[in-house]
Amino acid sequence: MTRVHLAFTPDELPDTTSPEDRAGFEAFIETMQPAFGAPEIPKAAAGFAIIARAPKLASLIVGLNQHMAFELPWTSQRADLRELMIQTLNMHFQCDFNFQSHLAKAEQRYGLPVELQAAIPYWKVSNIFTEEQRLVIEFTLAAASGTVSDELFARVVDQFGEAGATEFTFGVAWWSFWAILVGAIGPQHDFGYRTDQAD
């Protein structure tokens, strides 16, 4: 069960919500409607319901999220590697909600097969990964753990250039934020991967 009350529509806001926060939430929903496709936050996008609890912060985060996903060169031009990085972080931080929310999207939109995503814990021994993918996983895990060596960073610079290495690091920091936030709050949603054997 989700650890805090999440509102996905203005009607679901608690009665104690201030008029200012209610107006901010409604403005956030209106701003996001083109992306959401409806005047509500989809259950599969519960991370946005979490940040919408603080509407001013939500507006800032959405702008940054847009930049990180679609404008920053390393994360926007190599969306396949971005998704591999994100899924590595979701596994590292044990954020099952975010991992499931990215599974189909990473495969269908960005060509990252589900089997490859499931093999991330075995990246050192599995032959499913390219050398570039292994480097992405290795650096992502090291950056998220605070253990990036000079040698590892030099390999990332060799592969992606200095600007790319820096932008890659921005991406690790940004999507770590989402994995930590969503993992701690613990929203629930059935993404369709559950089986009777999972009970």
Residue 195 has pLDDT above 70, yes or no: no
Going by C-beta distance under 8 Å and a sequence separation of 6 or more, which residues neighbour residue 106? 83, 84, 86, 87, 112, 117
Domain boundary among the residues 27, 47, 69 is at: 69
Domain boundary among the residues 52, 69, 86 is at: 69
Residue 193 has pLDDT above 90, yes or no: no
Domain boundary among the residues 27, 52, 69 is at: 69
Statement to judge: residues 55 and 83 lie in one domain: no
Q: Is 129 helix (H, G, I), strand (E, B) or coil?
A: coil
pLDDT at 2: 81
Query: 198: which 2 tokens?
Result: 């999972």
Question: What residues make up the domain containing 49?
Answer: 10-69
Query: Considering the chain, what is the average pLDDT of its residues?
Result: 94
Q: Which of 27-36, 52-61, 150-159 has the highest mean pLDDT?
A: 150-159
d(CA 43, CA 8) in angstroms, rounded, equals 7
pTM above the 0.85 mark?
yes
The dihedrals phi and psi of 110, each to the nearest 5 degrees, come to -120, 5
Statement to judge: residues 170 and 128 lie in one domain: yes
Statement to judge: residues 88 and 53 lie in one domain: no
pLDDT per residue over 48-61, tens digit each?
Answer: 999 999 999 999 99
d(CA 53, CA 5) in angstroms, rounded, equals 9
| Mean predicted confidence (pLDDT) in 151-158 | 99
Count the domains in the chain: 2
Buried b (16+ CB within 10 A) or exposed e, 95-134: bbbbbbbbbeebbeeeebeeebbebbeebeeeeebeeebe
Query: 1: which 2 tokens?
Result: 């069960």
Residue 96 has pLDDT above 80, yes or no: yes
123, 157, 158, 172 from 165: Cα distances, Å = 20, 5, 9, 11
